[in-house]
Amino acid sequence: MDRRRYLLSLLGLVAAFTVLTGFRPDDPDSTGLFRFEPGYDVDTFDSDGGRVRVHFTRSGPDAVKLTDSDDDGVPDAVVVVADTYERVLSAYVDLGYRSPASDLGTFGGDGGSDRLDVYLIDFAGQADGAFVRDRCASNSSVCSGYVAQENDYQGYGYPSFAVATEILSSHELFHAVQAAYDADQGANWSEGTAVWASERFDPSLNDLEYFIGAWFDEPNRSIDQEPIGPVDGYSYGLAIFAQFLSERYEDDLHRLLWERLEDGADGVEDPQWLPILAALLEDSYDTSFDAAWVTFADWVLRCGHGGPAGATFANAARYPRVAADAVTLPFSKERLRVYRASLQVWSVAPAGRARVAVALPTTDPGTLEGLTLILSTRSGDTVESVVLDGASGSIAVNHADEVRAVVVNSLRSGDSRRPGLCLGDAAEVAACVAAIAPTTAEPDPELADVADGDEADTASSDDAGDALGGDATAEVAPTPPKDNGGCGGGPTHGPGLLGLLAAGLLLAWRRHNAALHNNAATPSGAPRS
């Protein structure tokens, strides 16, 4: 287990439950997980911008640091929180997003005003903050809530209280923004886009780089398959797909998508993010999800390398390599299992072959629906690729160090695709095909002839693929029983968590191992653990 994965494993669990409760952390009758220790006065401070109210104590276990450098009677830490949340809110409003839903009127007026309430509470090292929704409009998924934030970050390892507050606020406030449209989109897209939003607010915060490794480790999982049980790192790691959409198309795509996710938008009673994204790509960007997903897979192949060949992410060299099954040529597998909206990667050494061919043999042509093959070569840090137009093809090795084969399933519904897989030179692949599916036509190893790298990267500049998807759900990939990241914290207080389960309170509870943010201000390109 590498250090990054080990640290992710420390991040604990996320509780995601739904109930509408009137209790806030400063309510003496509250039995919730987030509450001030009874017996201490709770003060408030309103931001100059008029949109944020900070709740804090000056004594007891939840006390903030009392340093007051300008002697205005308000601790500096409280002012930092108020000013930071104002800046983040302004940034999201400037991007065209709604402000978080007010808790006045139909929402009940919690916190004593219509301002966004931020409660500074001692999390005792178990979490660094959460957006908690506590009121939803009648017959709607538009919800209001509040943010609970660690009071001082003592022992968390952040470079400063200010940096910790920027990281926490930019993520949790985007959850509040999401709830102003639809609070029920599930962990994958909610957490993935919240990580993306932090990156959009301030790329130096490095949250995106910190979390995306969880997706790169498991590209074979369906992107709309919600975690079973605690939210794991995959949901946060899906920020890499959100980042792709932003870089390949435009930042505004995300706002347009959230506007379409509100209940009743465009006549859809309860929109879900993946089919709505597919419709948005067709309506506003003259492409399809299928094409975008194949292009995303092609971009991903260049991550973790510094070579210039082919279109990819602006910071691809800083991202991880996508996980691949390392196999030896010739290689065959009688039946794959490629889940909807996912991809699988195999890595081989050419071992003296001038070309490497691939084929997906099957006696049932229907099982090839939605599948696309990509072949790539890597020479040092330079990656070249070709998107194949069919179920077989080959690529010139040209002294490459590595060849990777990718099977992309761009369907958004249905059972997994289960063809075979053959890798090797032309003769080896032909023999493999004959053994697995004798009725399959012999693969044409010249289908994707990339000689000397001159024709590489056929899908790097334009989306490739046809619209093949549907909307029904069917077979899904099994979710591994892991807990490796995100709004979840370390072990929780037993009684508090049991009470939370009983109440059914929806939380987006986030725990960083803050030591990973020590280099948040390091020069661009600095490695992270």
DSSP string, 295-314: HHHHHHTTTT-----S---T
Q: What pLDDT does residue 126 have?
A: 87
Over range 282-291, report the average pLDDT: 98
Domains and CATH numbers, the chain: 16-184 (3.40.30), 188-287 (no CATH), 323-436 (2.60.120.380)
pLDDT at 441: 55
The percent of residues above 90 in pLDDT, for the chain, comes to 67
Amino acid at 354: A
Cα atoms in the 13 Å half-sphere on the side-chain side of 399: 2
Q: Is the pLDDT of residue 108 over 90?
A: no
* Least confident range of 40-54, 90-104, 320-334, 490-504: 490-504
Q: Compute the average pLDDT of residues 149-154.
A: 96
Q: For position 197, what pLDDT does the model report? A: 98
User: What is the Cα–Cα distance from 188 to 174, expressed in whole angstroms?
Assistant: 14
Q: Which of the pair, 102 or 520, is modelled with greater confidence?
A: 102
pLDDT category at 520 given cuts 50, 70, 90 is very low
Interval 30-75: pLDDT, tens: 777 788 999 999 999 999 999 999 999 999 999 999 999 999 999 9
User: With 70 as the cut, is the pLDDT of residue 132 above it?
Assistant: yes
pLDDT digits (tens, 9 = 90+) for 259-271: 999 999 999 999 9
Whether the per-residue pLDDT at 495 is higher than 70: the answer is no
User: What torsion do the CA atoms of 139, 142, 146, 147 make, to the nearest 10 degrees?
Assistant: 140
Tokens representing 352 are: 């003296």
Q: Is a pLDDT exceeding 80 seen at residue 237?
A: yes
Strand partners for 146: 132
pLDDT digits (tens, 9 = 90+) for 110-128: 556 789 999 999 998 988 9
Mean per-residue pLDDT over the chain, rounded: 82
pLDDT of residue 487: 59
pLDDT in tens, 424-454: 999 999 999 999 998 755 555 444 444 344 3
pTM > 0.85: yes or no: no
- So what's the pLDDT on residue 508? 39
Among residues 426, 406, 450, the alpha carbon closest in space to that of 329 is found at: 426
Taking only the tens place, the pLDDT of each residue in 307-363 is: 777 899 999 999 999 999 999 999 999 999 999 999 999 999 999 999 999 999 999
C-beta of residue 320 within 8 angstroms of C-beta of residue 375: no
